[in-house]
Amino acid sequence: MLGSPRYFYTFSSRVLPWLTPIALLTLAAGLVWGLAFAPADYQQGNSYRIIFIHVPASSGALMGYMALGVSGLVAVVWRMKMAEVMLKSIAPFGAALAAISLVTGALWGKPTWGTYWQWDARMTSMLILLFMYVGVIALQAVIRDPRQAARAAGLLAMVGVINVVIVKYSVEWVQTLHQGSTLKMFGESTIDPAMKYPLLLSMLGLWLLYAVNVLLRARTEVLWRERRSKWVSKRVKEGEH
């Protein structure tokens, strides 16, 4: 059902009006709580607060590329139209998040490590992730036929996902400066609960905002691709959105 562009369009029309405010409210709540009310770190003082932007952005960028890989698999193997639309819609926001993660990481690195940039494992991986987003976007930009462009980008994203995993392990081989994850899905987190909950909230908020962005982009793309179909022209004539 979700594979049909028309169904997707009506479905997303129903989802967006409540998903958008929820995403914005969650993100705002997480950020206000984290930036204004969470306790200061005993070592890093207030400078650690950039974590409430840095970690959500990094995780969003990583998940976005995984989603690109999955869409790529579906688009190349099953040639599903909506997966092709997703390949075009997921990439830009993910690339922006990777850039935000790098910038906030650099700003955080200065007060804590005394340098904006180090070729440390995680920073290098994120930089390469950004490069791979750029590749996916650049490839789609030069191929004229949208279906072919999406499938080409899909194949690249699949190869890219394998590469992300290998890069992650191979750069860890170079000495690492970055702190380990303090948030663990399984086992005990090494972060104080007073910092953990606002962090989780802002992560959730940013992911939801990413979803909203993808839906909005996908809707535009669906309209453009289906511009010659009856249901689109009917909607346009009736002035519906």
By CB under 8 A, residue 23 contacts other proteins? no
By CB under 8 A, residue 76 contacts other proteins? yes
Q: Which residues contact 66 (CB under 8 A, 6 or more apart)?
A: 161
Q: Determine which residue in the list 61, 171, 208, 214 makes contact with other proteins, applying CB under 8 A.
A: 171
Of 36-44, 80-88, 132-140, 192-200, the window that binds other proteins (rule: CB under 8 A) is 132-140
Pick left, alpha or beta for residue 154 (phi over 0 → left; psi -120 to 50 → alpha; otherwise beta).
Answer: alpha
Of 4-12, 18-26, 60-68, 156-164, the window that binds other proteins (rule: CB under 8 A) is 156-164
Question: Site map for other proteins, 133-152, x if CB under 8 A?
Answer: -xx--xx--xx-x--x--xx
Q: How near is the Cβ of 95 to other proteins at its closest, in Å?
A: 13
**Tokens standing for residue 35:** 């930036």
By CB under 8 A, residue 188 contacts other proteins? no
Q: Which residues contact 200 (CB under 8 A, 6 or more apart)?
A: 30, 183
Residue 203's identity, in one-letter code, is: M
The footprint of other proteins on this chain (CB under 8 A) covers a number of residues equal to: 27
Instruction: Encode 139-167: b = buried (16+ Cβ within 10 Å), e = exposed.
Output: bbeeeeeeeebbbbbbebbbebbebbeeb
By CB under 8 A, residue 73 contacts other proteins? no
For residues 76 and 150, give the distance between their C-alpha atoms in angstroms, rounded to a whole number.
9
Q: Which residues form the interface with other proteins (CB under 8 A)?
A: 76, 128, 131-132, 134-135, 138-139, 142-143, 145, 148, 151-152, 155-156, 158-160, 162-163, 166-167, 170-171, 173-174
